[in-house]
Amino acid sequence: MSWHPQYRSSKFRHVYGKAASKDKCYDCVPITRNVHDNHFCAVNPHFIAVVTECAGGGAFLVIPIHQTGKLDPHYPKICGHKGSVLDIKWNPFNDFVIASCSEDATVKIWDIPKHLLTKNITSPKKELLGHVRRVGLIEWHPTANNILFSSGYDYKIMIWNLDTKEAIISNPVKILDAHKDVVLSMSFNTDGSLLATACRDRKIRLIDPRAGTVLQVASYKSHRVNKVLFLGNMKKLFSTGTSRWNNRQIALWDQNDLSVPLLEEDLDGSSGLLFPFYDSDTHMLYVVGKGDGNIRYYEISPEKPYLNYLMEYRSHLPQKGIGMMPKRGLEVSACEIFRFYKLIPTKSLIEPISMIVPRRSESYQEDIYPLTTGAQPALTAQEWLNGVNKGPLLVSLRPGSGAVNSLLQFPETEPLVETVDLSQHQGQEGKKPLEDLQKPSDNADRIKQLTIEEKLPKNEQKCLSNDFDIFECPPPKTENELLQMFYRQQEEIRRLRELVNQRDVQIKQLQLELRNLCVNRGNY
């Protein structure tokens, strides 16, 4: 019988949660008292939006992300709804557009000005009228621009195309009528071609949203589902809910077989809802409890045991809702890999909580920051509606690697330079002109790097790139492959510079040693 060690190697084994100091929290925020099971908070790198208490209708606040401290009691609100606001979501491709849904059966799209708000905003950019009962959930499509999903208490999910000039849209492009009760949760896979839903009838459904067909149904009786989440490209679903004994429970499902869960685990006997969050870059899963102050986090693996418990962040202050900062808004210099914004209505406080990987080095840690989803859409709304699937466009979080909004633009009118043509090393002809993604000095460094590589023997040329042989790899065919090639070359340039600096230091040390030897011999 073989012996298996009780520990496992992981770079995220010691991740810990760190609450922000009081001066970096948002104080005196009138957080909503609504009992609806939603996050009530949406965050992007510019703003934090939170649903607030409002007499005679529904409203939410939009606060600049750096405006911490006490909030002015007369701070302007977004208050165009006639009923309580139930959900808010920022457009993933425009940090100044937010969607909200309400008990008044409408969905509204708002433009947020770039300057500081001076008065209440009451007129939305667009108004979506289609539901006949209150709308409880909204979700933006992860890769297609201006596609919004809404779910109401009329048991319908509606798909809206916002690429129109009309201010009032009454006809959704598609209505999904596959549910017999209220939809509690919606989640997309990575490219947005599949939609997973959790319904009050205790079933998980896997739906093709464009065809409107239900591909899989999970009706496992011992797990009453509340929230469901796609786990990136792992081809797995994660759900939270309750067991038949009313214990809080988590379950893991195979996307291709929802008959029986791969894993089922009872957590505790509390009554609060569990909100799941997944980071596809680090494969870490966070489970946040409503009504308590705990955040459990796990690491997902493709093989058994699938779910590896790491640690738990604990606090005596219970959270009513939670917001999540996109990866492009994190503090990479502090090795921050995730950030929550915790709503504490008992203290009228919003408290940021950073999940940090402890590292001694202050340099950029590329192993914990792979290429991540950027702020550029991969598809237009019409392309997605026509059946095209495409994964998200990726960007680097390395400081100075370029603005997120302009990394993936390749205008032909800009001056062009020839990048490293990998095909010439394979004896092929033709070069592919691309936009100059580097500064002139970086281009000069790249030319120097190429001359160095040409002078080296073949067996040494392969050692120059980090796990990537640029002479045996075909030329990039997509923008993502091109970006990955670009960042690998940048990393190689940085590594060569460090190597040169180390050699300079060694040369100086040897010169000092020779000088000391000469002095010692002269003394003798």
pLDDT-derived band at 464 (thresholds 50, 70, 90) equals very low
What's phi and psi for 332, nearest 5 deg?
-70, -25
Among 47, 118, 30, 144, CA closest to 88: 47
Q: What angle (nearest 5°) sits at the alpha carbon of residue 515, between those of residues 511 and 516? A: 120
Q: Which of 171-175, 428-432, 466-470 has the lowest mean pLDDT?
A: 428-432
Q: Which of 37-46, 351-360, 361-370, 487-496 has the lowest mean pLDDT?
A: 487-496
Report how far residue 303's alpha carbon sits from residue 102's, in angstroms, rounded to the nearest whole number.
Answer: 42
Report how far residue 70's alpha carbon sits from residue 349's, in angstroms, rounded to the nearest whole number.
Answer: 9
| Cα separation values, 368 from 233, 284, 510, Å | 18, 11, 37
Cβ 434 vs Cβ 482: under 8 Å? yes
Report how far residue 332's alpha carbon sits from residue 384's, in angstroms, rounded to the nearest whole number.
Answer: 33
In the chain, domain spans: 38-177
pLDDT number for residue 67: 93
Residue 159 has pLDDT above 90, yes or no: yes
More confident residue, 274 or 502: 274
Report how far residue 427's alpha carbon sits from residue 109's, in angstroms, rounded to the nearest whole number.
Answer: 54
In this predicted model, what pLDDT tens digit does every residue of 372-384 receive, in sequence order?
999 999 999 999 9
Count Cα neighbours of 459 within 13 Å in the Cβ-side half-sphere: 0
What distance lies between CA 495 and its chain's CA centroid? 29
305 preceded by cis ω (within 30°)? yes
| Cα separation values, 362 from 92, 366, 396, 399, 522, Å | 30, 12, 18, 12, 45
pLDDT number for residue 484: 74
Other beta carbons within 10 Å of 215: 15
User: Given strand 274-279, what is the order of strands in its sheet?
Assistant: 274-279, 284-289, 295-300, 307-313
Q: Which of 114-118, 124-128, 153-157, 426-430 has the lowest mean pLDDT?
A: 426-430
Among 336, 339, 335, 332, CA closest to 397: 332
> Going by C-beta distance under 8 Å and a sequence separation of 6 or more, which residues neighbour residue 251?
220, 223, 225, 238, 239, 240, 241, 261, 263, 264, 265
Calculate mean pLDDT across residues 323-339. Answer: 94
What's the CATH architecture for 38-177?
Answer: 7 Propeller (2.130)
Contacts 24+ apart (CB under 8 A), 231-237: 231/278, 231/280, 231/285, 231/300, 232/189, 232/190, 232/278, 232/280, 232/283, 233/189, 233/190, 233/280, 234/283, 234/300, 234/302, 236/262, 236/300, 236/306, 237/187, 237/196, 237/204, 237/206
The alpha carbons of the chain give a radius of gyration, in whole angstroms, of: 26
Q: Which of 39-43, 461-465, 478-482, 505-509 has the lowest mean pLDDT?
A: 461-465
Residue 111 has pLDDT above 50, yes or no: yes
Q: Which of 253-262, 399-408, 451-460 has the lowest mean pLDDT?
A: 451-460
Count Cα neighbours of 100 within 13 Å in the Cβ-side half-sphere: 33
Strands (E), 65-203: 69-70, 78-81, 85-90, 97-102, 106-111, 126-129, 135-140, 147-152, 157-161, 168-169, 174-176, 183-188, 195-199
- DSSP-assigned states of every residue in 306-370: -EEEEEEE--SSPPSEEEE--GGGS-GGGTEEEEEEEEEGGGTEEEEEEEE---S--S--TTT--
Count Cα neighbours of 230 within 13 Å in the Cβ-side half-sphere: 21
